[in-house]
Copies of this chain bind each other. A is one copy, B any other.
Amino acid sequence: MYRPGRHFLQIPGPTNVPDRILRAIDRPTIDHRGPEFAELGKACLEGMKTVYQTRNPVLIYPASGTGGWDAALTNTLSPDDKVLAFDTGQFAALWAKAARNLGLNVDFVESDWRAGIDIGKLGERLGGDRNHEIKAVLVVHSETSTGVANDIPAVRRAIDDAKHPALLMVDTVSSLAAMDYRHDEWGVDVAIGGSQKGLMLPPGLGFNAVSQKALAASKTAKMPRSFFRWDDMLEQNANGFFPYTPATNLLFGLRESLEMLAEEGLPNVFCRHQRFAEATRRAVATWGLEIVPLDAARCSSALTAVLVPDGFNEAAVRAVMLQKFNLSLGAGLGKLAGRVFRIGHLGSLNELMLAGTLCGVEMGLELAGVPHRKGGVQAALAYLTEQAR
């Protein structure tokens, strides 16, 4: 049934896929063992290094970002290994669950979802681990359920300060190509990503960026693994190929995405995301609503999670926005279900799309009867205008 105009897909991923990328995907599939594919494969593999700001390999799986969790854990660890994780949000929790499912021993540290990782607690935990039983520390860069961004360099420093050999694994699913992420400089060992966020692609590709230390660990890691094996993948990647049939058409899209990011320039991409996040927060503040992150310095640029007042269910509020204004926002997840809606402002987005989104939220709040002050949009426009000078 036709609804006029475009849907506003403002969940924190999948994000709006630009026409250039959709059209790139809309091409006949090619022989994944032929010379034309080799060029495609190399362009994607090289380009992903740029996005991850790394000189080490990036692995590309025909899988969702979730599959990247499996890959990271099974390639580097052994059964019953202890890993340290923090209950900082729904995706942190799901990753910890994945680790348990895979047979790891997860020390899941209670945390405040609104605050993110407590670096002090992390240091304590590591300091207390005299025998270095902890083999990996799992951290989510931008927690998609809360909009809190964890400070990866600070995590790294804590590990270094404790002189602890644990691998540092970072989920970059909603931060990659939206927020500055420096794999090598920050000393991350394995980063996990997906295609459907800052990379502006449909879902279906999962990534692992690695370090030399992680690669070394994979030589002795004993967890069973087949589909997600790094070794077979890296061997074939050397020539631009993959050990099994890759998601060719999504790779067509990835190559286009990498070109687009290069055209805009990664620093500009990051600034744009910061600008839109700030504009959104100003709107929310003007409405008199509260965002989930307690610390303004730890807000993700990818999304803003907004608390609805007591007595309201975010699901009902979002339903109004979808029905009346063809606007999709993210639901509250896990323990925030019913209490939070999430505005995605990452990916292929510009000022007017963001403005339209905020207009939809402001009108939706009104229609849903959520008490709020007017003027949120106005505040966002004032900021965006100033920034555009």
| Supplied contacts A97-B226, A203-B247, 10 more A-B pairs, CB within 8 Å | A6-B19, A6-B348, A7-B28, A22-B27, A62-B204, A65-B245, A326-B351, A359-B381, A363-B384, A377-B378
Of residues A224, A324, A348, which shows the largest number of chain B Cβ atoms within 10 Å of its Cβ? A224
Binds B, one of A8-16, A50-58, A150-158, A179-187: A8-16
Among the 9-residue stretches A98-106, A126-134, A292-300, the one with 4 or more Cβ atoms under 8 Å from chain B is A98-106
Q: Which among A30-38, A116-124, A210-218, A303-311 touches the partner chain? A: A30-38
Cβ of A89 within 8 Å of any chain B Cβ, yes or no, is: no
The tally of residues in A whose CB lies under 8 Å from a CB in B reads: 102
Q: Which one of B13, B264, B377 contacts A381 once the chains associate, using CB atoms below 8 Å?
A: B377
A61, A63, A97, A103 interface centre (most CB from chain B within 10 Å): A63
Query: Distance in Å from the Cβ of A156 to the closest Cβ of chain B?
Result: 26
Q: Determine if B29 and A196 form an interchain contact, defined as CB atoms under 8 angstroms apart.
A: yes
- Closest CB in chain B relative to A109 CB, distance in Å: 20
A→B interface (CB under 8 Å): 1-9, 11, 13-20, 22-23, 25-34, 61-67, 69-70, 79, 97-99, 101-103, 194, 196, 202-204, 223-227, 229, 244-250, 259-261, 263-264, 269, 272, 322, 324-328, 331, 348-353, 355-357, 359-360, 362-363, 366-367, 374-375, 377-378, 381, 384-385, 388-389
Which of A16, A25, A64, A223 is packed against the most chain B CB atoms within 10 Å?
Answer: A64
For this chain, the copies found in one complex come to 4
On whether the beta carbons of A325 and B19 are closer than 8 Å, the reply is: no
How many angstroms between the C-alpha atoms of A196 and B374 in the bound complex? 37
Query: Which residues from chain B contact A355 at a C-beta distance below 8 Å?
Result: 355-356, 359-360
**By the criterion CB–CB under 8 Å, are B363 and A388 in contact?**
yes
Say whether, besides A2-B20, A28-B7, A331 and B33 are in contact (CB < 8 Å). Answer: yes
A325 lies within 8 A of B28 (CB): no
